Amino acid sequence: YLYPNVLHQLYWGYRESFLCIRLSFVDFNSFVTRTNTCGELRSAHVGQEVTLYGWIQYQRQGLFLVLRDFQGLTQIIIPQDEAHSHVKKLLSNAPVESVVRVTGTVSLRPPGQENPKMPTGDIEVKVETAEILNSCKKLPFEIKDFIKKTEALRMQYRYLDLRSFQLQYNLRLRSQIVMRMREYLCNLHGFVDVETPTLFKRTPGGAKEFLVPSREAGKFYSLPQSPQQFKQLLMVGGLDRYFQVARCYRDEGSRPDRQPEFTQIDIEMSFVDQAGIQRLIEGLLQYSWPEERGSITTPFPSMTYEEALADYGTDKPDTRFGMKIVDISDFLRRSDIQFVQNALSYPRGTVKAICIPQGVRYLKNKDLESLKESAKSQFNQCSALGSLRLESADLLEAAGLVLRNPTVFHFLWVVDFPLFLPKEENPTELESAHHPFTAPHPSDTSLLYSDPTKVRSQHYDLVLNGNEVGGGSIRIHSAEQQRFVLEKVLKEDSEVLSHLLEALEFGAPPHGGIALGKCSLFLCHQNRIPVLRA
């Protein structure tokens, strides 16, 4: 939680360093009758006649008010003389958040009354005329970042919530980052922005899809989980380098880090390998990364899926802190602790531990009890140690230790995933770890036909601070191999994908791609301080 004045300063700090500098050549006053925004006036403007439009942020005792728009705040002095009694009455009676137009003269604030925290803090505007353009009724909550309000109320009055500095900042930052990404992809690297259809048919595997009724009874469209098939077809069509800020639809139930519709930066390239895609994404993020968040170092470190599971108990490790999982089976083999010996007696039975260096100091008995309870409730799931590691970190942080600095960004590539995993609901059947179009690892291709469970893939995920923020793969470009995977391994009806299989037979180039923005922390959540999603 940031204190209001800190948040306010941060906001202005960000605006100054990122938005204002990058937008310094932008004319915010074109096509409208205002002369300036509420964030623009400085001592250099003293003496100028100005017209401002904005919302009333505060009004004090009929003496002054603060006017706000998307760019900032300006102090307005209400005239007290008889000739302006009409203006005084108008402004003194207008409720907060009413939208007004004022004209007046910029003057310096009296000595000692400057506000160094406000970019417009040296000046004020002495009002000549004013007009209430629309009055505001009683608000459901105050438009101040530090006023606590429930999520439900914020959603109901989203348009009011959007007036806050934080959300204004988030949406503008998102827009700037997407613009920088377009610049990097199209202008520097020759990508083509192509829009693809959203009324489509079923794609086997993956999430549940949303259906849209058609005019023909019993027939439905599916909303695509991603433009995966379209972008592959674009490669067959010789586009060479495609990207799209693409809307995707997945019915993933109540997973807290997912949303039914979200946006991703969707990319596909011909004649590329895994390393090529990784360098492209590192360059893209470095180019579009907001300056105020510091720079990011490339290349990003890389870890195999196997290492990730062994050391962190998850395929999306948060590498901002240690507390890795260690195998202590050998150490305990000679012990006479019965339950340990039981565990070790199973085939491939191991005993693993997490060392919590500060645990003695920070963890209380009730914390240890809650860890034990979670361990019990996840008994037999191999992800258990991964979640215990995160839970221990939560407990340490609740006790005051900072382990996961939210201003630090640890990017990580996770590579060498298995091509197939046992289905959760029926482990004797296989499903694609990424999607059915992913190519096998070149050194494992022959295993595809003998033991598909052992095949590694050319699938890579981008992980940021323990969240999966992107993923992609090099694709199968041989129709024969694609048909084998669909029919023989996944036991899918390949008819559903006959159009794609046919396309692969017409000289499809080798190709691969990626999508950034799967997890809601990335490109589409409008609420939080954004990572990339605003």
Residue 72 CA, chain-centre distance (Å), reads 26
Q: Which of 39, 54, 513, 530 binds ligand ASP (CB under 6 A)?
A: 513
Give the whole-angstrom CA distance, residue 52 versus residue 33: 9
With binding defined as CB under 6 A, does residue 228 bind ligand ASP?
A: yes
Choose between 226 and 465: whose C-beta lies nearer to ligand ASP. 226
Stretches 125-133, 208-216, 255-263, 507-515: which one binds ligand ASP (CB under 6 A)? 507-515
Choose between 72 and 436: whose C-beta lies nearer to ligand ASP. 436
**Residues contacting ligand ASP: total by CB under 6 A:** 8
What length does the chain have? 534
Least distance to ligand ASP from the beta carbon of 217, Å? 32
Residues 6+ apart with CB under 8 A from 345: none
x/- contact string, 471-500, with ligand ASP (CB under 6 A)? xxx---------------------------
Nearest to 104 by CA among 80, 129, 85: 129
Query: Quick one: 413 exposed, middle or buried, by C-beta within 10 A (0-12, 13-18, 19+)?
Result: buried
Interface residues for ligand ASP in 436-475 (CB under 6 A)? 471-473
Stretches 53-61, 65-73, 398-406, 512-520: which one binds ligand ASP (CB under 6 A)? 512-520
Least distance to ligand ASP from the beta carbon of 232, Å? 9
Choose between 438 and 465: whose C-beta lies nearer to ligand ASP. 438
With binding defined as CB under 6 A, does residue 530 bind ligand ASP?
A: no
Q: Which of 75, 103, 226, 263 binds ligand ASP (CB under 6 A)?
A: 226
Interface residues for ligand ASP in 152-211 (CB under 6 A)? none
Choose between 88 and 250: whose C-beta lies nearer to ligand ASP. 250
Give the strand pairing for 352-354 and 325-327: antiparallel
Choose between 124 and 266: whose C-beta lies nearer to ligand ASP. 266
Give the whole-angstrom CA distance, residue 350 versus residue 345: 9
3-class SS of residue 156: helix
Choose between 196 and 465: whose C-beta lies nearer to ligand ASP. 196
Choose between 144 and 201: whose C-beta lies nearer to ligand ASP. 201
Query: Quick one: 64 exposed, middle or buried, by C-beta within 10 A (0-12, 13-18, 19+)?
Result: middle
Give the strand pairing for 302-304 and 261-270: unpaired
User: Which residue number has the CB closest to ligand ASP?
Assistant: 226
Interface residues for ligand ASP in 39-78 (CB under 6 A)? none
Least distance to ligand ASP from the beta carbon of 514, Å? 5
Q: Which two tokens stand for residue 349?
A: 């039975």
Choose between 37 and 473: whose C-beta lies nearer to ligand ASP. 473
Least distance to ligand ASP from the beta carbon of 513, Å? 4
Least distance to ligand ASP from the beta carbon of 471, Å? 5
CB 114 within 8 A of CB 121: yes
Distances (CA, A) of 383 to 315, 395, 416: 9, 19, 18
Query: Quick one: 345 exposed, middle or buried, by C-beta within 10 A (0-12, 13-18, 19+)?
Result: exposed
**DSSP class of residue 196?**
-
With binding defined as CB under 6 A, does residue 317 bind ligand ASP?
A: no
Choose between 280 and 514: whose C-beta lies nearer to ligand ASP. 514
Choose between 59 and 228: whose C-beta lies nearer to ligand ASP. 228
Q: Which residue has the tokens 């910029």?
A: 106
Residues 6+ apart with CB under 8 A from 113: none
Distances (CA, A) of 500 to 193, 364, 368, 406, 485: 21, 58, 53, 43, 13
Half-sphere exposure (CA, 13 Å, Cβ side) for 224? 18
Least distance to ligand ASP from the beta carbon of 389, Å? 26
3-class SS of residue 12: helix
Least distance to ligand ASP from the beta carbon of 469, Å? 11
**DSSP class of residue 15?**
I
Q: Which residue has the tokens 């039975």?
A: 349
The residue type at 355: C
Choose between 228 and 520: whose C-beta lies nearer to ligand ASP. 228
Q: Which of 325, 515, 519, 531 binds ligand ASP (CB under 6 A)?
A: 515
Residue 178 CA, chain-centre distance (Å), reads 12
Give the whole-angstrom CA distance, residue 56 versus residue 522: 33
Least distance to ligand ASP from the beta carbon of 102, Å? 49
Stretches 40-48, 186-194, 367-375, 510-518: which one binds ligand ASP (CB under 6 A)? 510-518
Q: Which two tokens stand for residue 195?
A: 């829009």
Least distance to ligand ASP from the beta carbon of 246, Å? 8
Binding site for ligand ASP (CB under 6 A): 226, 228, 471-473, 513-515
